[in-house]
Amino acid sequence: MNTRAPHPSAHLTDRASQALQRCGAPPPAHDGSLVVTTPIDGTELARLHPHTATDLDIAVSAAADAFTVWRAVPAPARGRLVRRLSELLTQHKADLAELVTLEAGKITSEALGEVQEMIDVCDFAVGLSRQLYGRTMPSERAGHRLMETWHPLGVVGVISAFNFPVAVWSWNTAIALVCGNPVVWKPSETTPLTALACDALLRRAAADVGAPDALHHVLLGDAAVGEALVDDPRIALVSATGSVRMGRIVGPRVAARFGRVLLELGGNNGAIVAPSADLDLTVRAVVFAAAGTAGQRCTTLRRLIVHRSVADELVRRIAAAYSGLRVGDPFDEGVLVGPLISGRAHEAMRKALERAELDGGVRVTGGERVDGPGESFYVSPALVRMPAQTEVVREETFAPILYVLTYDDFDEAIALHNAVPQGLASSIFTTDSREAERFLASSDCGIANVNIGTSGAEIGGAFGGEKETGGGRESGSDSWKAYMRRATNTINYSDELPLAQGVEFG
């Protein structure tokens, strides 16, 4: 394993503060109780003031007032706000990426990619602002027209996870805004500076195009702030991204008040490698999907289900590729694997590896802690051959562990693939088109790919998953419908009053 420990830097706090200010936000506080550190070396970046219940009440009231104005603005005109946001994101791409690296530990290329995803979804939303199409249906009654229209829904509450600190916000916010809704955002307590930067950019965009300032609010804090948001009946839609544990709490609470909920929860993504697979391509795809972002994507590849005839060779080649991965400071050029987010994440990884070994798993490579400065947790990505899909394999451990299972029969591979509680992303590597089609028809995930890894989705498709992943869909395709209210309209342009289904009354 080619590793290099990062250099401790006294300048990370300044870098965060400067990037934030370049985005138009005030310098961060250093006297609050919300301590923000960087996973790069544990340096404290800020001490922010978490928001209170009163702050939440004020923010939601202001957003509800802004809704009455914004919903009356024609959708294409709402699109102008998102177009301006896209311009500002483009201008501040490097600043936001710097904050993503500082707070979430992503390597620069992936951090820039995350900001590019924000720009892409803004472009999509601007186009959408002229395409919020409803259908017309033939009416069964003469002189009648039947149609559906889509209307703004209300205030959208966004709860987001640490690992996509800005992209998930933009998927929700760009679409919510063109749909006519204000947004109240509770970002991860681990990544509040990126949230303050986004808020500053959106407020500037609103000022530039004359949109209400109160269209967007950030509420900083932990789960308690999230729960207050979840319980507020003025929040029409709660879009929550994070662990299954969080979704189990949020889902029923929103349902109890008949609110609308969109859940984007954990994944435990698998790929099948068939005997006909192009192994060169497979190795490249697997290494990015399993080790990229230090295994901290919801779509990270965690289970590789390989035909017995190619398993030994594939494992050997993945292990060889892993040995060339540089682990270290995510700002350093050439580093491909940055830090884990916390000591807790490292502990979860260590325990999972221990359990896998107790279950008969054999560690082929990786899984060791790599020296880093200060309070940091760097690890080498682990590759573990498993005799069976045991309990630990069926759980999501948010760290770079790739379990390898073998199969003999294609039906067995599909059954293994689907036999986990989560249902986010899946892939098959094969050059047999029948096998590929059978996989696409059988995978129970929201995302099913052929000859490409499980991670790194484009914004054009609907993103989300089934089963414990929560069933929500965000970003492209017709995901916008979750952010709008549908009305069915029947218009009688005749001078008769025929009743539907031929009913006679009087």
Q: Find out whether 120 and 459 touch, Cβ atoms under 8 Å.
A: yes
The torsion angles phi and psi of 148, rounded to 5 degrees, stand at -120, 145
Does the footprint of ligand NAD cover residue 398 (CB under 6 A)? yes
Q: Which residue, among 475, 55, 33, has the nearest Cα to 232 in the 3D structure?
A: 55
Q: Which residue, among 495, 499, 459, 465, has the nearest Cα to 480 in the 3D structure?
A: 459
Rule CB under 6 A: choose which of 103, 189, 232, 468 binds ligand NAD. 189
CA angle 136, 140, 142 (to 5 degrees): 95
CA angle 432, 436, 438 (to 5 degrees): 115
Task: Please say if 264 is a catalytic residue.
Answer: yes
Rule CB under 6 A: choose which of 15, 80, 186, 302 binds ligand NAD. 186
- Number of residues assigned to the chain: 506
State in angstroms the smallest separation of the CB of 383 from ligand NAD. Answer: 20
* Residue 38 exposure: Cα atoms within 13 Å on the Cβ side: 32
Choice between 145 and 350, CB closer to ligand NAD: 350
Does the footprint of ligand NAD cover residue 265 (CB under 6 A)? yes
Residues that bind ligand NAD (rule: CB under 6 A) add up to a total of: 29
Catalytically annotated residue among 122, 179, 198, 298? 298
Binding window for ligand NAD (CB under 6 A); candidates: 18-26, 50-58, 186-194, 285-293: 186-194
Q: Find out whether 493 and 143 touch, Cβ atoms under 8 Å.
A: yes
Which residues make Cβ contacts (< 8 Å) with residue 136, sequence separation at least 6?
Answer: 145, 146, 147, 148
Does the footprint of ligand NAD cover residue 266 (CB under 6 A)? yes
Q: Find out whether 272 and 439 touch, Cβ atoms under 8 Å.
A: yes
Pairing of β 155-159 and β 183-186 = parallel
Choice between 75 and 230, CB closer to ligand NAD: 230
d(CA 132, CA 124): 12
Binding window for ligand NAD (CB under 6 A); candidates: 51-59, 104-112, 155-163, 279-287: 155-163
Rule CB under 6 A: choose which of 44, 123, 227, 332 binds ligand NAD. 227
State in angstroms the smallest separation of the CB of 241 from ligand NAD. Answer: 5
Residues within window 450-469 making contact with ligand NAD, judged by CB under 6 A: 469
Does the footprint of ligand NAD cover residue 293 (CB under 6 A)? no
Task: Please say if 298 is a catalytic residue.
Answer: yes
Q: Find out whether 437 and 416 touch, Cβ atoms under 8 Å.
A: no
State which residue has the least CB distance to ligand NAD.
Answer: 226
Q: Which residue, among 372, 366, 368, 298, has the nearest Cα to 339 in the 3D structure?
A: 372
Does the footprint of ligand NAD cover residue 246 (CB under 6 A)? yes
Choice between 98 and 103, CB closer to ligand NAD: 103
Residues within window 23-62 making contact with ligand NAD, judged by CB under 6 A: none
Does the footprint of ligand NAD cover residue 163 (CB under 6 A)? yes
Max CA pair span of the chain: 86
Active-site amino acid positions: 264, 298
Residues that bind ligand NAD (CB under 6 A): 159-164, 186, 188-189, 222-223, 226-227, 230, 241-243, 246, 249-250, 264-267, 298, 396, 398, 424, 469
